[in-house]
Protein backbone atom coordinates (compact mmCIF):
# COMPACT_ATOMS: atom_id res chain seq x y z
CA UNK A 1 0.00 0.00 0.00
CA UNK A 2 1.53 3.32 -1.10
CA UNK A 3 -0.09 6.13 0.87
CA UNK A 4 2.61 7.96 2.79
CA UNK A 5 4.65 10.88 1.41
CA UNK A 6 7.07 13.16 3.26
CA UNK A 7 4.37 15.83 3.82
CA UNK A 8 1.44 13.38 4.02
CA UNK A 9 1.49 10.90 6.91
CA UNK A 10 -1.57 10.85 9.16
CA UNK A 11 -2.92 13.60 6.90
CA UNK A 12 -3.27 11.44 3.81
CA UNK A 13 -5.27 14.19 2.09
CA UNK A 14 -2.04 16.22 1.74
CA UNK A 15 -0.52 13.78 -0.75
CA UNK A 16 0.88 15.21 -3.98
CA UNK A 17 1.65 12.21 -6.20
CA UNK A 18 0.12 12.95 -9.60
CA UNK A 19 -1.89 10.80 -11.97
CA UNK A 20 -2.53 11.93 -15.54
CA UNK A 21 -4.98 10.23 -17.91
CA UNK A 22 -3.30 8.59 -20.92
CA UNK A 23 -4.99 8.01 -24.27
CA UNK A 24 -5.05 4.21 -23.89
CA UNK A 25 -7.23 4.39 -20.72
CA UNK A 26 -4.33 3.90 -18.32
CA UNK A 27 -2.72 6.68 -16.22
CA UNK A 28 0.81 8.04 -15.79
CA UNK A 29 1.92 8.31 -12.18
CA UNK A 30 4.68 10.63 -10.88
CA UNK A 31 5.74 11.33 -7.32
CA UNK A 32 7.51 9.95 -4.26
CA UNK A 33 6.24 7.59 -1.57
CA UNK A 34 8.08 6.89 1.68
CA UNK A 35 8.11 4.04 4.23
CA UNK A 36 6.67 1.51 1.80
CA UNK A 37 6.69 -1.95 3.38
CA UNK A 38 8.15 -4.52 0.97
CA UNK A 39 8.18 -1.78 -1.70
CA UNK A 40 11.07 -3.58 -3.36
CA UNK A 41 12.47 -7.09 -2.89
CA UNK A 42 13.57 -10.14 -4.86
CA UNK A 43 11.23 -12.63 -3.20
CA UNK A 44 8.74 -12.53 -6.11
CA UNK A 45 8.93 -12.00 -9.89
CA UNK A 46 6.64 -9.01 -9.82
CA UNK A 47 5.32 -6.51 -7.26
CA UNK A 48 1.92 -4.86 -7.53
CA UNK A 49 1.84 -1.43 -5.88
CA UNK A 50 -1.47 0.08 -4.79
CA UNK A 51 -0.79 3.79 -5.11
CA UNK A 52 -2.86 6.77 -3.97
CA UNK A 53 -2.51 9.75 -6.31
CA UNK A 54 -4.30 12.89 -7.37
CA UNK A 55 -5.69 13.78 -10.82
CA UNK A 56 -4.95 17.32 -12.13
CA UNK A 57 -8.60 18.40 -11.73
CA UNK A 58 -9.18 16.57 -8.42
CA UNK A 59 -10.95 18.26 -5.49
CA UNK A 60 -8.88 19.29 -2.47
CA UNK A 61 -8.07 16.83 0.37
CA UNK A 62 -9.14 13.20 0.70
CA UNK A 63 -12.07 13.76 -1.69
CA UNK A 64 -9.61 14.17 -4.55
CA UNK A 65 -7.64 10.95 -4.14
CA UNK A 66 -7.75 8.04 -6.58
CA UNK A 67 -6.32 4.54 -6.27
CA UNK A 68 -4.07 3.00 -8.90
CA UNK A 69 -2.53 -0.39 -9.45
CA UNK A 70 1.07 0.04 -10.57
CA UNK A 71 3.02 -3.15 -11.37
CA UNK A 72 6.80 -3.08 -11.03
CA UNK A 73 6.98 -4.98 -14.35
CA UNK A 74 4.37 -4.54 -17.04
CA UNK A 75 2.27 -7.68 -17.53
CA UNK A 76 1.88 -8.58 -21.22
CA UNK A 77 -1.52 -9.71 -22.63
CA UNK A 78 -0.40 -13.37 -22.44
CA UNK A 79 0.39 -12.97 -18.72
CA UNK A 80 4.17 -13.03 -19.09
CA UNK A 81 6.29 -10.22 -17.65
CA UNK A 82 7.43 -7.40 -19.92
CA UNK A 83 9.45 -4.22 -19.43
CA UNK A 84 10.26 -2.61 -16.08
CA UNK A 85 7.65 0.05 -15.23
CA UNK A 86 8.82 3.58 -14.40
CA UNK A 87 8.95 2.91 -10.64
CA UNK A 88 12.03 2.28 -8.53
CA UNK A 89 13.19 1.98 -4.95
CA UNK A 90 15.56 4.86 -4.17
CA UNK A 91 16.29 4.02 -0.53
CA UNK A 92 15.78 1.47 2.24
CA UNK A 93 15.28 2.73 5.82
CA UNK A 94 17.44 1.67 8.78
CA UNK A 95 14.98 0.95 11.56
CA UNK A 96 14.56 0.32 15.28
CA UNK A 97 13.06 -3.12 14.60
CA UNK A 98 11.36 -5.40 12.04
CA UNK A 99 14.67 -5.83 10.22
CA UNK A 100 13.21 -8.66 8.13
CA UNK A 101 10.81 -6.22 6.46
CA UNK A 102 12.32 -3.79 3.91
CA UNK A 103 10.87 -0.27 4.28
CA UNK A 104 11.40 1.57 1.01
CA UNK A 105 11.35 5.03 -0.50
CA UNK A 106 9.70 4.66 -3.91
CA UNK A 107 10.03 7.02 -6.84
CA UNK A 108 7.40 7.03 -9.57
CA UNK A 109 7.81 8.56 -13.00
CA UNK A 110 11.48 9.63 -13.12
CA UNK A 111 11.36 8.83 -16.84
CA UNK A 112 8.00 10.36 -17.71
CA UNK A 113 5.41 8.44 -15.69
CA UNK A 114 4.74 4.95 -14.34
CA UNK A 115 1.85 3.13 -16.03
CA UNK A 116 -1.03 2.82 -13.56
CA UNK A 117 -4.50 1.26 -13.78
CA UNK A 118 -7.40 2.92 -11.98
CA UNK A 119 -9.08 0.85 -9.24
CA UNK A 120 -12.71 1.82 -8.64
CA UNK A 121 -13.82 5.31 -9.65
CA UNK A 122 -11.75 8.48 -10.00
CA UNK A 123 -11.59 10.47 -6.71
CA UNK A 124 -12.98 7.51 -4.75
CA UNK A 125 -9.57 6.12 -3.84
CA UNK A 126 -9.86 6.54 -0.08
CA UNK A 127 -13.01 4.40 0.06
CA UNK A 128 -11.34 1.77 -2.13
CA UNK A 129 -8.17 1.78 -0.02
CA UNK A 130 -10.22 1.48 3.18
CA UNK A 131 -11.37 -1.97 2.07
CA UNK A 132 -7.78 -3.01 2.53
CA UNK A 133 -6.96 -0.66 5.40
CA UNK A 134 -9.76 -1.97 7.62
CA UNK A 135 -8.54 -5.54 7.35
CA UNK A 136 -4.93 -4.32 7.62
CA UNK A 137 -5.82 -2.57 10.91
CA UNK A 138 -7.18 -5.81 12.31
CA UNK A 139 -4.13 -7.67 10.97
CA UNK A 140 -1.79 -5.25 12.74
CA UNK A 141 -3.76 -5.85 15.96
CA UNK A 142 -3.17 -9.57 15.41
CA UNK A 143 0.55 -8.84 14.88
CA UNK A 144 0.46 -7.24 18.32
CA UNK A 145 -1.15 -10.32 19.85
CA UNK A 146 1.39 -12.57 18.11
CA UNK A 147 4.52 -10.67 19.22
CA UNK A 148 3.10 -10.36 22.74
CA UNK A 149 2.41 -14.12 22.86
CA UNK A 150 6.01 -14.88 21.82
CA UNK A 151 7.34 -12.42 24.40
CA UNK A 152 5.20 -14.13 27.06
CA UNK A 153 6.32 -17.64 26.11
CA UNK A 154 9.98 -16.63 26.26
CA UNK A 155 9.58 -14.84 29.59
CA UNK A 156 7.65 -17.78 31.04
CA UNK A 157 10.31 -20.32 30.19
CA UNK A 158 13.07 -18.03 31.52
CA UNK A 159 11.15 -17.45 34.76
CA UNK A 160 10.91 -21.20 35.32
CA UNK A 161 14.67 -21.68 34.90
CA UNK A 162 16.28 -18.61 36.41
CA UNK A 163 17.14 -19.21 40.07
CA UNK A 164 17.29 -16.16 42.28
CA UNK A 165 16.33 -15.33 45.86
CA UNK A 166 14.40 -17.25 48.49
CA UNK A 167 10.77 -17.15 49.58
CA UNK A 168 10.08 -13.92 51.53
CA UNK A 169 11.13 -14.28 55.18
CA UNK A 170 12.92 -17.62 54.70
CA UNK A 171 16.36 -16.33 53.58
CA UNK A 172 18.23 -17.92 56.46
CA UNK A 173 16.37 -21.21 56.57
CA UNK A 174 16.59 -22.21 52.88
CA UNK A 175 20.02 -22.85 51.39
CA UNK A 176 18.83 -23.04 47.77
CA UNK A 177 17.56 -20.27 45.55
CA UNK A 178 14.15 -20.64 43.93
CA UNK A 179 12.99 -20.11 40.31
CA UNK A 180 11.95 -16.46 39.93
CA UNK A 181 8.44 -17.56 38.80
CA UNK A 182 7.75 -18.17 42.49
CA UNK A 183 8.16 -14.49 43.41
CA UNK A 184 4.80 -12.67 43.55
CA UNK A 185 6.06 -9.70 41.54
CA UNK A 186 7.29 -11.95 38.71
CA UNK A 187 3.95 -13.77 38.72
CA UNK A 188 2.23 -10.40 38.48
CA UNK A 189 4.28 -9.58 35.39
CA UNK A 190 3.65 -12.97 33.78
CA UNK A 191 -0.09 -12.82 34.46
CA UNK A 192 -0.27 -9.24 33.19
CA UNK A 193 1.37 -10.50 30.01
CA UNK A 194 -0.68 -13.66 29.57
CA UNK A 195 -4.10 -12.26 30.35
CA UNK A 196 -3.64 -9.20 28.14
CA UNK A 197 -2.60 -11.48 25.27
CA UNK A 198 -5.73 -13.56 25.87
CA UNK A 199 -7.95 -10.48 26.00
CA UNK A 200 -6.35 -9.10 22.82
CA UNK A 201 -6.77 -12.42 21.03
CA UNK A 202 -10.45 -12.54 22.01
CA UNK A 203 -11.04 -8.96 20.83
CA UNK A 204 -9.36 -9.65 17.46
CA UNK A 205 -11.27 -12.90 17.05
CA UNK A 206 -14.61 -11.20 17.78
CA UNK A 207 -13.58 -8.47 15.34
CA UNK A 208 -12.78 -11.02 12.62
CA UNK A 209 -16.05 -12.86 13.23
CA UNK A 210 -18.00 -9.61 12.96
CA UNK A 211 -16.13 -8.77 9.75
CA UNK A 212 -17.16 -12.13 8.22
CA UNK A 213 -20.73 -11.87 9.45
CA UNK A 214 -21.05 -8.34 8.12
CA UNK A 215 -20.45 -9.84 4.66
CA UNK A 216 -22.10 -13.23 4.94
CA UNK A 217 -24.64 -12.96 7.78
CA UNK A 218 -27.98 -14.74 7.23
CA UNK A 219 -30.17 -11.60 7.18
CA UNK A 220 -29.84 -7.89 6.44
CA UNK A 221 -30.35 -7.16 10.15
CA UNK A 222 -27.63 -9.62 11.16
CA UNK A 223 -25.25 -8.10 8.61
CA UNK A 224 -25.97 -4.58 9.82
CA UNK A 225 -25.46 -5.54 13.46
CA UNK A 226 -22.18 -7.27 12.58
CA UNK A 227 -21.00 -4.26 10.56
CA UNK A 228 -21.55 -2.03 13.59
CA UNK A 229 -19.63 -4.44 15.83
CA UNK A 230 -16.79 -4.71 13.29
CA UNK A 231 -16.50 -0.93 13.00
CA UNK A 232 -16.42 -0.39 16.78
CA UNK A 233 -13.94 -3.19 17.43
CA UNK A 234 -11.48 -2.31 14.63
CA UNK A 235 -9.84 0.72 16.30
CA UNK A 236 -9.80 -1.18 19.61
CA UNK A 237 -8.10 -4.21 18.00
CA UNK A 238 -5.55 -2.01 16.27
CA UNK A 239 -4.77 0.44 19.05
CA UNK A 240 -5.17 -1.55 22.24
CA UNK A 241 -3.59 -4.79 21.00
CA UNK A 242 -0.54 -2.92 19.69
CA UNK A 243 -0.05 -0.73 22.78
CA UNK A 244 -0.49 -3.92 24.77
CA UNK A 245 2.20 -5.62 22.63
CA UNK A 246 4.72 -2.90 23.49
CA UNK A 247 3.83 -3.17 27.19
CA UNK A 248 3.98 -6.97 27.17
CA UNK A 249 7.27 -7.04 25.24
CA UNK A 250 8.67 -4.52 27.73
CA UNK A 251 7.54 -6.71 30.64
CA UNK A 252 9.22 -9.63 28.84
CA UNK A 253 12.51 -7.71 28.97
CA UNK A 254 11.86 -6.95 32.65
CA UNK A 255 11.25 -10.60 33.56
CA UNK A 256 14.67 -11.40 32.05
CA UNK A 257 16.37 -8.75 34.22
CA UNK A 258 19.74 -7.71 32.77
CA UNK A 259 19.62 -10.57 30.28
CA UNK A 260 16.58 -8.90 28.75
CA UNK A 261 18.71 -5.96 27.71
CA UNK A 262 21.31 -8.23 26.11
CA UNK A 263 20.52 -9.13 22.50
CA UNK A 264 21.32 -12.84 22.73
CA UNK A 265 18.20 -13.77 24.72
CA UNK A 266 15.91 -12.39 21.96
CA UNK A 267 13.63 -10.60 24.48
CA UNK A 268 14.81 -7.20 23.26
CA UNK A 269 13.94 -8.04 19.65
CA UNK A 270 10.27 -8.46 20.50
CA UNK A 271 10.33 -5.04 22.15
CA UNK A 272 11.96 -3.39 19.12
CA UNK A 273 9.69 -5.23 16.66
CA UNK A 274 6.54 -4.35 18.62
CA UNK A 275 7.34 -0.63 18.68
CA UNK A 276 6.24 0.02 15.08
CA UNK A 277 2.77 -1.46 15.62
CA UNK A 278 1.21 1.59 17.36
CA UNK A 279 2.61 3.80 14.57
CA UNK A 280 1.80 2.26 11.20
CA UNK A 281 -1.64 1.53 9.69
CA UNK A 282 -2.91 4.79 11.24
CA UNK A 283 -1.24 5.77 14.53
CA UNK A 284 -3.04 4.77 17.71
CA UNK A 285 -3.93 8.41 18.30
CA UNK A 286 -5.73 8.40 14.95
CA UNK A 287 -7.52 5.14 15.91
CA UNK A 288 -8.78 6.75 19.13
CA UNK A 289 -10.07 9.74 17.16
CA UNK A 290 -11.79 7.34 14.75
CA UNK A 291 -13.45 5.60 17.72
CA UNK A 292 -14.84 8.74 19.34
CA UNK A 293 -15.33 10.78 16.18
CA UNK A 294 -17.02 8.24 13.93
CA UNK A 295 -17.72 4.99 15.73
CA UNK A 296 -19.58 6.29 18.81
CA UNK A 297 -22.16 7.91 16.55
CA UNK A 298 -22.48 4.92 14.23
CA UNK A 299 -26.03 3.58 13.73
CA UNK A 300 -27.20 6.48 15.95
CA UNK A 301 -25.13 5.13 18.82
CA UNK A 302 -26.63 1.63 18.57
CA UNK A 303 -23.29 -0.04 17.67
CA UNK A 304 -21.48 1.10 20.83
CA UNK A 305 -24.60 0.56 22.97
CA UNK A 306 -24.81 -3.04 21.81
CA UNK A 307 -21.19 -3.68 22.87
CA UNK A 308 -21.77 -2.05 26.27
CA UNK A 309 -24.99 -4.06 26.71
CA UNK A 310 -23.07 -7.27 26.01
CA UNK A 311 -20.60 -6.35 28.77
CA UNK A 312 -23.50 -5.82 31.21
CA UNK A 313 -25.02 -9.17 30.18
CA UNK A 314 -21.71 -10.92 30.93
CA UNK A 315 -21.63 -9.28 34.38
CA UNK A 316 -25.15 -10.66 35.00
CA UNK A 317 -24.16 -14.15 33.89
CA UNK A 318 -21.15 -14.07 36.21
CA UNK A 319 -23.02 -12.74 39.24
CA UNK A 320 -23.75 -16.08 40.88
CA UNK A 321 -20.77 -18.28 39.92
CA UNK A 322 -18.09 -15.54 40.13
CA UNK A 323 -19.45 -12.54 42.07
CA UNK A 324 -16.08 -10.78 42.40
CA UNK A 325 -15.56 -10.67 38.63
CA UNK A 326 -19.20 -9.71 38.14
CA UNK A 327 -18.92 -6.77 40.55
CA UNK A 328 -15.73 -5.47 38.90
CA UNK A 329 -17.24 -5.82 35.43
CA UNK A 330 -20.50 -4.16 36.49
CA UNK A 331 -18.71 -1.18 38.05
CA UNK A 332 -16.49 -0.67 34.99
CA UNK A 333 -19.53 -1.02 32.71
CA UNK A 334 -21.39 1.71 34.60
CA UNK A 335 -18.36 4.00 34.41
CA UNK A 336 -17.99 3.39 30.67
CA UNK A 337 -21.67 4.08 30.03
CA UNK A 338 -21.35 7.54 31.62
CA UNK A 339 -18.00 8.18 29.90
CA UNK A 340 -19.51 7.20 26.54
CA UNK A 341 -22.50 9.51 26.98
CA UNK A 342 -20.13 12.32 27.96
CA UNK A 343 -17.95 11.62 24.95
CA UNK A 344 -20.90 11.51 22.51
CA UNK A 345 -22.26 14.80 23.79
CA UNK A 346 -18.86 16.49 24.00
CA UNK A 347 -18.01 15.47 20.42
CA UNK A 348 -21.21 17.21 19.31
CA UNK A 349 -20.73 20.37 21.39
CA UNK A 350 -17.00 20.88 22.00
CA UNK A 351 -15.07 18.30 19.99
CA UNK A 352 -11.63 19.58 21.01
CA UNK A 353 -12.33 18.44 24.59
CA UNK A 354 -13.37 15.00 23.40
CA UNK A 355 -10.25 14.70 21.24
CA UNK A 356 -8.07 15.36 24.30
CA UNK A 357 -9.64 12.34 26.01
CA UNK A 358 -9.77 10.00 23.01
CA UNK A 359 -6.83 7.76 23.92
CA UNK A 360 -7.70 7.14 27.60
CA UNK A 361 -11.32 6.55 26.56
CA UNK A 362 -10.26 3.91 24.02
CA UNK A 363 -8.06 2.20 26.62
CA UNK A 364 -10.84 2.16 29.20
CA UNK A 365 -13.31 0.71 26.70
CA UNK A 366 -10.75 -1.89 25.60
CA UNK A 367 -10.17 -3.01 29.19
CA UNK A 368 -13.91 -3.43 29.72
CA UNK A 369 -14.26 -5.29 26.40
CA UNK A 370 -11.31 -7.54 27.24
CA UNK A 371 -12.74 -8.31 30.70
CA UNK A 372 -16.09 -9.12 29.09
CA UNK A 373 -14.58 -11.64 26.65
CA UNK A 374 -12.41 -13.24 29.35
CA UNK A 375 -15.55 -13.44 31.51
CA UNK A 376 -17.33 -15.31 28.72
CA UNK A 377 -14.31 -17.61 28.51
CA UNK A 378 -14.50 -18.26 32.25
CA UNK A 379 -18.21 -19.15 31.98
CA UNK A 380 -17.52 -21.60 29.14
CA UNK A 381 -14.55 -23.12 31.00
CA UNK A 382 -16.58 -23.54 34.21
CA UNK A 383 -19.31 -25.34 32.29
CA UNK A 384 -16.80 -27.75 30.78
CA UNK A 385 -15.19 -28.32 34.18
CA UNK A 386 -18.61 -29.16 35.68
CA UNK A 387 -19.25 -31.57 32.83
CA UNK A 388 -15.82 -33.13 33.42
CA UNK A 389 -14.75 -32.29 29.87
CA UNK A 390 -11.45 -31.02 28.52
CA UNK A 391 -8.00 -30.48 30.04
CA UNK A 392 -8.53 -29.37 33.66
CA UNK A 393 -5.46 -27.15 34.10
CA UNK A 394 -6.17 -25.32 30.86
CA UNK A 395 -9.79 -24.71 31.88
CA UNK A 396 -9.01 -23.53 35.43
CA UNK A 397 -6.38 -21.22 33.94
CA UNK A 398 -9.11 -19.55 31.85
CA UNK A 399 -11.12 -18.85 35.00
CA UNK A 400 -7.98 -17.47 36.68
CA UNK A 401 -7.31 -15.25 33.65
CA UNK A 402 -10.74 -13.66 33.97
CA UNK A 403 -10.23 -13.22 37.71
CA UNK A 404 -6.76 -11.69 37.39
CA UNK A 405 -7.82 -9.34 34.60
CA UNK A 406 -10.96 -8.20 36.44
CA UNK A 407 -9.23 -7.66 39.79
CA UNK A 408 -5.82 -6.35 38.69
CA UNK A 409 -6.18 -4.64 35.30
CA UNK A 410 -9.83 -3.65 34.87
CA UNK A 411 -9.71 -1.15 37.79
CA UNK A 412 -7.52 1.04 35.54
CA UNK A 413 -10.63 1.65 33.41
CA UNK A 414 -12.04 3.93 36.13
CA UNK A 415 -8.97 6.15 36.23
CA UNK A 416 -8.74 6.21 32.44
CA UNK A 417 -12.42 7.16 32.11
CA UNK A 418 -11.83 9.96 34.65
CA UNK A 419 -8.84 11.19 32.67
CA UNK A 420 -10.83 11.05 29.42
CA UNK A 421 -13.78 13.02 30.75
CA UNK A 422 -12.20 15.32 33.34
CA UNK A 423 -8.65 15.84 32.15
CA UNK A 424 -9.32 17.69 28.89
CA UNK A 425 -8.92 21.26 30.15
CA UNK A 426 -5.40 20.69 31.45
CA UNK A 427 -4.46 19.42 27.99
CA UNK A 428 -6.09 22.05 25.82
CA UNK A 429 -5.70 25.12 28.03
CA UNK A 430 -1.90 24.93 28.20
CA UNK A 431 -0.28 27.38 25.75
CA UNK A 432 2.62 26.15 23.60
CA UNK A 433 4.95 28.30 25.75
CA UNK A 434 3.63 26.74 28.95
CA UNK A 435 3.90 23.28 27.40
CA UNK A 436 7.55 23.92 26.56
CA UNK A 437 8.51 25.53 29.87
Ligand X SMILES: Cc1cc2nc3c(=O)[nH]c(=O)nc-3n(C[C@H](O)[C@H](O)[C@H](O)COP(=O)(O)OP(=O)(O)OC[C@H]3O[C@@H](n4cnc5c(N)ncnc54)[C@H](O)[C@@H]3O)c2cc1C
With CB under 6 A as the rule, give the number of residues binding ligand X: 19
The answer to whether residues 245 and 269 touch, using CB atoms and an 8 Å cutoff, is: no
**What span, in angstroms and rounded, lies between the C-alpha atoms of 337 and 86?**
54
Q: Pick the stretch among 16-24, 30-38, 299-307, 391-399 that binds ligand X (CB under 6 A).
A: 30-38
Determine which one of 213, 281, 350, 387 is catalytic: 281
> Considering beta carbons, is residue 289 or 307 the nearer one to ligand X?
289
Q: Which of 37, 134, 299, 306 lies at the binding interface for ligand X (CB under 6 A)?
A: 37
Using rule CB under 6 A, residue 68 touches ligand X? no
- Show contacts with ligand X in window 132-171 (CB under 6 A): none
What radius of gyration do the chain's Cα atoms show? 25
**What span, in angstroms and rounded, lies between the C-alpha atoms of 310 and 333?**
10
Using rule CB under 6 A, residue 13 touches ligand X? no
- Show contacts with ligand X in window 252-311 (CB under 6 A): 276, 279-280, 282-283, 285-286, 289
- In this chain, which residue has its C-beta nearest to ligand X? 9
Helix (H, G, I), strand (E, B) or coil at 260: helix
Q: Which of 26, 30, 85, 103 lies at the binding interface for ligand X (CB under 6 A)?
A: 103
Using rule CB under 6 A, residue 239 touches ligand X? no
Q: Which of 35, 68, 225, 373 lies at the binding interface for ligand X (CB under 6 A)?
A: 35
Using rule CB under 6 A, residue 29 touches ligand X? no
Q: Least distance from C-beta 411 to ligand X, angstroms?
A: 27
The answer to whether residues 95 and 133 touch, using CB atoms and an 8 Å cutoff, is: no
> Considering beta carbons, is residue 236 or 399 the nearer one to ligand X?
236
Which DSSP letter does residue 44 get?
S
Q: Which of 15, 29, 36, 239 lies at the binding interface for ligand X (CB under 6 A)?
A: 36
Is 263 one of the catalytic residues?
A: no
Using rule CB under 6 A, residue 361 touches ligand X? no
**What span, in angstroms and rounded, lies between the C-alpha atoms of 89 and 200?**
36
Contacts of 245 (CB under 8 A, 6+ apart): 143, 144, 145, 147, 148, 151, 200, 274, 277
**What span, in angstroms and rounded, lies between the C-alpha atoms of 106 and 31?**
8
> Considering beta carbons, is residue 225 or 270 the nearer one to ligand X?
270
Q: Least distance from C-beta 313 to ligand X, angstroms?
A: 34
Contacts of 435 (CB under 8 A, 6+ apart): none
Which DSSP letter does residue 112 get?
S
**What span, in angstroms and rounded, lies between the C-alpha atoms of 244 and 257?**
20
> Considering beta carbons, is residue 95 or 223 the nearer one to ligand X?
95
**What span, in angstroms and rounded, lies between the C-alpha atoms of 71 and 45?**
11
The answer to whether residues 70 and 86 touch, using CB atoms and an 8 Å cutoff, is: no
Using rule CB under 6 A, residue 7 touches ligand X? no
Positions marked catalytic: 281
Interface with ligand X by CB under 6 A: which residues?
1-4, 9-10, 35-37, 95, 103, 276, 279-280, 282-283, 285-286, 289
Amino acid sequence: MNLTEPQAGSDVGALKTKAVRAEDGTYRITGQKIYITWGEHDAADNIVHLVLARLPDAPFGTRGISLFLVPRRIVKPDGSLGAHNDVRCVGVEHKLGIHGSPTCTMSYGDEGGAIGHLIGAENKGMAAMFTMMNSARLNVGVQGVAIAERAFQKALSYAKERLQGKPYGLSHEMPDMIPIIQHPDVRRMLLTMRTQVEAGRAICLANALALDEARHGASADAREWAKGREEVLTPISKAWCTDMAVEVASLGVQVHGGMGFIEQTGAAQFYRDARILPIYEGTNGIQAIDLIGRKLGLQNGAAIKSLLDDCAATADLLSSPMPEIAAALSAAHRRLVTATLWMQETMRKEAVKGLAGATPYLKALALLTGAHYLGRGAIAATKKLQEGQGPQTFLTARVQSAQFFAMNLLPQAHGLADAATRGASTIIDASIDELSA
